[in-house]
């Protein structure tokens, strides 16, 4: 197991009138090589949870084990943890600051104290992973398009060679093509680099297609945890939380209500097509 979260609580502004529970008794185990979708409405605590995983926020109560070792243990190196658990923030392009793309990607590995040639090798590798070739290296990050900037920012985290990659709403504010590119990139990282991925999102459509496990948060609590099929069965409860199942779930439910009994486990348009064709041919 890569990460184990035990009874995690986080309270903002404790002992003031602004006190607010951000996380309530969250238990979660992330296995190596998993592709998890973390879903919740704005303010459900999903971003807060991810910031605990690499030690940016300290829990009010509870424990987090990384490879079996508590990250709150005295002498635990947060720097190592942050290189192993890469966190890509929402709108990561806002963190770019260097004069050119290449030096910005070098920032992470440089902070790890690596040798110059290793830093450059890693930066090149990371930029290649996100699909930016050498013609981009010397451009200013501010000359790039939104999607390209975001890929640079993701490369900046990848250059640290994390084992676990957490992405907070990586598709926010992108056009459909940019969105598909980024999600395709993430899926590729999972398959080819064998990275453990946690994808934070509030869009079920984005997530349903890629992830093997879904965790749903609501008001700081974990409410559902299972495969997308299992979770989407609770589509009525999801709606009550201000979330929605993928549109195809509604189509399937409507068809079933009219007596066309296609399987409830359909979560993508492609699966639905196959199921409907199967019924048609019968």
Give least dist CB 183 to other proteins, A: 21
Can residue 2 be called a binding residue for other proteins (CB under 8 A)? no
Q: Which is closer to other proteins, CB of 76 or CB of 250?
A: 76
Can residue 48 be called a binding residue for other proteins (CB under 8 A)? no
Phi, psi of 92 (to 5 degrees): -65, -20
Contact 24, 220 (CB under 8 A): yes
DSSP bridge partners of 254 = none
Can residue 196 be called a binding residue for other proteins (CB under 8 A)? no
In our burial notation (b when 16+ CB lie closer than 10 A, e otherwise), range 115-141 reads eeeebbebbbebbebbebeeebeebeb
> Binding other proteins by CB under 8 A: which of 25, 95, 203, 263?
95
Q: Which is closer to other proteins, CB of 48 or CB of 218?
A: 48
Q: Which is closer to other proteins, CB of 108 or CB of 246?
A: 108
Can residue 13 be called a binding residue for other proteins (CB under 8 A)? yes
> What is the distance between the alpha carbons of residues 169 and 206, in angstroms, rounded to a whole number?
10
Contacts with other proteins in 132-161 (CB under 8 A)? 142, 156-157, 160
3-state SS assignment for residue 70 = strand
Can residue 115 be called a binding residue for other proteins (CB under 8 A)? no
Give least dist CB 171 to other proteins, A: 17
Q: Locate all alpha helices (DSSP H) within the chain, ordered by sequence.
A: 46-53, 78-84, 101-111, 116-129, 146-158, 176-192, 204-208, 228-232, 235-240, 247-257, 269-281
Give least dist CB 135 to other proteins, A: 24
Give least dist CB 69 to other proteins, A: 20
The contact mask relative to other proteins for 60-79 (x = CB under 8 A, - = no) is: -------------------x
Give least dist CB 91 to other proteins, A: 9
Sequence-distant (6+) residues with CB within 8 A of 80 are: none
> What is the distance between the alpha carbons of residues 253 and 235, in angstroms, rounded to a whole number?
10
> What is the distance between the alpha carbons of residues 11 and 3, in angstroms, rounded to a whole number?
21
Stretch that binds other proteins, among 3-11, 60-68, 110-118, 270-278 (CB under 8 A): 110-118
Half-sphere exposure of 281 (CA within 13 A, CB side): 6
Give least dist CB 238 to other proteins, A: 28
> Binding other proteins by CB under 8 A: which of 11, 112, 139, 187?
112
Interface residue list for other proteins (CB under 8 A): 12-13, 16-18, 51, 54, 56, 79, 82-83, 86-87, 89, 92, 94-97, 107-108, 110-112, 142, 156-157, 160
């Amino acid at each position: 197991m890569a990460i184990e979260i035990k009874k995690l609580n986080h309270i903002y502004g404790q002992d003031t009138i602004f006190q607010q529970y951000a996380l309530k008794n969250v238990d979660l185990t992330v296995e190596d090589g998993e592709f998890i979708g973390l879903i919740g409405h704005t303010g459900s605590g999903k971003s807060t949870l991810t910031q605990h995983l690499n030690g940016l926020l300290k829990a009010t109560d509870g424990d987090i084990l990384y490879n079996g070792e508590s990250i709150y243990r005295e002498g635990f190196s947060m720097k190592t943890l942050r290189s192993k658990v890469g966190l890509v923030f929402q709108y990561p392009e806002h963190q770019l600051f260097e004069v050119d793309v290449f030096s910005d990607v070098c920032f992470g590995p440089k902070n790890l104290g690596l040798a110059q040639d290793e830093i450059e090798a890693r930066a090149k590798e990371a930029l290649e992973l996100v699909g930016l070739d050498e013609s981009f290296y010397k451009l200013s990050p501010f000359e790039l398009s939104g999607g390209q900037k975001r890929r640079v920012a993701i490369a900046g985290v990848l250059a640290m060679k994390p084992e676990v990659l957490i992405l907070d709403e990586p598709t926010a504010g992108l056009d459909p093509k940019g969105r598909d590119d980024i999600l395709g990139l993430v899926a590729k990282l999972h398959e080819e680099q064998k990275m453990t991925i946690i994808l934070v999102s509030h869009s079920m459509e984005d997530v349903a297609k890629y992830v093997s496990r879904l965790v749903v948060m609501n008001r700081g609590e974990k409410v559902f945890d299972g495969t997308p099929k299992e979770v989407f069965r609770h589509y009525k409860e999801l709606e009550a939380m201000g979330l929605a199942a993928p549109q195809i779930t509604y189509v399937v439910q409507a068809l079933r209500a009219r007596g066309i009994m296609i399987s409830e486990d359909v979560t993508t348009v492609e699966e639905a097509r196959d199921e409907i064709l199967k019924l048609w041919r019968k």
